[in-house]
């Protein structure tokens, strides 16, 4: 079809015989043009929040419309959260999550907050992790504690050991 894989952020399957592509707004016209050339017609009236999108047999016998609507919404939101987490670039993850929450109102505030916290943990949380760890030892302390007592740490009279000394590298 001639589409650039790097411009497609995600591909998922919301229903039988349908594929959803997540692309940047500026790439939509290119994708639709490629679809037209390949004689692929996009589904313009698909509603992932409709109970008719629930194809699991466990929902077949239910006549509770409110339950079916809430399940369709829950499953769609779960799918969108997974879509965001599959994106490899952190900045793109944040941008897509923001659009899903602020722009399109597809995910809840709690879901957005949880996504944001998992993608970019707060500096306070990172600070707690760092402060809980023991401080690094000075390099002189590390060298002194790891060398035998008869080893001279700094001796300017002895030649420096290099890879070309014949000991650590084979001679030519």
Task: Give pLDDT tens digits along the chain (172 positions).
Answer: 778 888 888 988 888 888 889 998 889 999 999 999 999 988 888 888 888 888 888 888 888 889 999 999 999 999 999 999 999 899 999 999 999 999 999 999 999 999 999 998 875 555 554 444 444 555 544 544 444 444 444 444 444 444 454 444 454 4
Q: How far apart are CA 126 and CA 130, in angstroms?
A: 6
> How many other C-beta atoms lie within 10 A of the C-beta of residue 96?
21
Whole-model pTM over 0.75: no
End-to-end CA distance of the chain: 56
Under 8 Å between Cβ of 1 and 34: yes
Q: How much is the pLDDT for 149? A: 44
Q: How much is the pLDDT for 165? A: 47
Residue 158: burial class (beta carbons within 10 Å; 0-12, 13-18, 19+): exposed
Q: How much is the pLDDT for 146? A: 47
Q: How much is the pLDDT for 4? A: 86
- Phi, psi (degrees; rounded to nearest 5) at 65: -60, -40
Q: How much is the pLDDT for 14? A: 83
């Amino acid at each position: 079809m001639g589409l650039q894989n790097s411009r497609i952020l995600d591909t998922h399957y919301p229903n039988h015989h349908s594929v959803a592509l997540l692309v940047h707004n500026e790439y939509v016209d290119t994708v639709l043009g490629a679809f037209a050339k390949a004689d692929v017609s996009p589904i313009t009236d698909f509603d992932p929040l409709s109970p008719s999108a629930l194809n699991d047999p466990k929902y077949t016998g239910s006549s509770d419309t409110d339950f079916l609507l809430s399940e369709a919404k829950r499953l769609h939101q779960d799918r969108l959260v997974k879509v965001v987490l599959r994106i490899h670039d952190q900045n793109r993850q944040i941008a897509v999550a923001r659009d899903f929450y602020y722009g399109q109102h597809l995910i809840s505030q709690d879901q957005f907050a949880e996504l944001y916290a998992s993608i970019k943990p707060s500096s306070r949380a990172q600070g707690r992790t760092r402060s809980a760890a023991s401080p690094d030892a000075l390099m002189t302390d590390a060298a002194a504690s790891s060398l035998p007592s008869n080893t001279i740490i700094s001796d300017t009279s002895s030649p420096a050991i290099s890879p070309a000394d014949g000991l650590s590298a084979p001679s030519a």
